[in-house]
Amino acid sequence: MNAQVIHVQPTQQHSIASGLALAVGIALVALWLGHLLPLVGGPVIGIVLGIIVGNLASPGEHFRPGIAFAGKYVLQWSIIALGFGLSLSQVAKTGLQSLSVTLVTMTVAFLSAWLLGRWLGVDDKLKILIGVGTAICGGSAIAAVTPIIRPEDHDTAFAISTIFLFNLVAVLLFPLLGHLMHLSDLGFGLWAGTAINDTSSVVAAGYSYSKTAGDFATIVKLTRATLIIPVCLVLAFVVAAREKRNAAKDGTASHFSLAKIFPWFILWFLVASGIRTAGLIPLAIQPSIHFVAEFLIIVALTAIGLSANLRRMAASGIKPILLGLGVWVAVAVSSLLVQRVIGQL
């Protein structure tokens, strides 16, 4: 998810405009409904409306570029915009505060993926994809490790579909469970930030709970997302070592690019937070910036919902879904247990 300048031809711009306009239009409805139903919130309504429209109305191919643009780049912009409302001291404090929980949940994710996947007879590469996706940052992590371990296309599709399924469940279920367990804003933010897979789903669940929970969950998730770098480096080293024996093939390391997998929008988030810390953002406009960030989040989640293919997810088979469920539950429970042990709840 690199923040970069995008050069497109006029016809591509038209395609992007069509899909982006569709996402924005649905997001406006979601924003309005979110104000009427604050316990549900605009982000959750946006992703649900996107799924309904995407699977019932089936927007044409000319909408796809704009929908993909919104789901990827608008999401990055929303995270950067959120940075303008958070000080660097708050970001650093939250990152360090959540690190122990993050490391435990990552370890649990990888171990449970390996053990449960072995018991279910799931392919090794599919186990890695689901483990990495659950442990770190969902589809982004899967996309990052795919060129390293080079799985079959259907394995990648299975993993992304499975991760996306539990992202949707988490967005709808976590806020409800959080209220039933009477979690504090910070407790829920830490739980969502360490136990929900994808950044968009963490943001949606966090801000559906409260603004404080959303701010906290976002920082926790961004801290967790940076751990994709060492994970990818380790995987690249292991794969390259295995393939070194075959001189006729290119080593995986030759295709490995740190620049491609690094989530650059995190750096811009820190820049925005630095501007906020320096006092360069007038207090009078900070609520407006937060509103813009919230709306961008709704647009991005609406686009992700529009991209969801329920038929493809259903066709993924039961074993990847059972594996994804087991790993997801293990991570969610371990996050709460660690917080209980260290006195965070």
- How high is the pLDDT of residue 2? 45
DSSP string for 247-269: TTS--GGGG--HHHHS-THHHHH
In this structure, how many other beta carbons lie within 10 angstroms of the beta carbon of residue 207? 29
Spatial CA neighbour of 221 closest among 116, 325, 111, 297 = 297
Could you tell me the two tokens for 245? 């024996």
Spatial CA neighbour of 135 closest among 238, 245, 227, 261 = 227
Per-residue confidence in pLDDT tens, the chain, 345 aa: 444 444 455 555 557 899 999 999 999 999 999 888 765 667 778 878 988 898 888 888 889 899 888 887 887 788 788 778 777 776 677 777 778 888 899 899 999 999 999 998 888 888 888 888 888 877 667 766 776 787 776 677 677 777 777 887 888 899 999 999 999 999 999 999 999 887 778 888 898 898 889 988 988 887 787 777 688 778 777 776 666 655 445 554 455 555 555 557 767 877 888 888 888 888 888 888 878 888 988 898 788 788 877 776 666 678 888 898 999 999 999 999 998 888 766
In a domain? residue 14: no
Counting Cβ atoms within 10 Å, is residue 268 exposed (0-12), middle (13-18) or buried (19+)? middle
**In the 8-state DSSP scheme, what is residue 47?**
H
- How high is the pLDDT of residue 4? 46
- How high is the pLDDT of residue 281? 81
Cα 269 from Cα 126, distance rounded (Å): 32
In this structure, how many other beta carbons lie within 10 angstroms of the beta carbon of residue 99? 15
In a domain? residue 75: no
- How high is the pLDDT of residue 5? 42
Q: Are 345 and 339 in contact (CB under 8 A)?
A: yes
Residues 6+ apart with CB under 8 A from 311: 55
- How high is the pLDDT of residue 108? 93
The number of domains in the chain is 1
In a domain? residue 226: yes
- How high is the pLDDT of residue 25? 95
In a domain? residue 193: yes
- How high is the pLDDT of residue 247? 45
In a domain? residue 148: yes
In a domain? residue 52: no
Cα 188 from Cα 220, distance rounded (Å): 11
Spatial CA neighbour of 290 closest among 272, 317, 267, 265 = 272
In a domain? residue 22: no
- How high is the pLDDT of residue 262? 58
In a domain? residue 48: no
Cα 147 from Cα 281, distance rounded (Å): 41
Q: In terms of pTM, does the model score above 0.75?
A: no
Q: Which domain holds residue 334?
A: 87-296+310-342
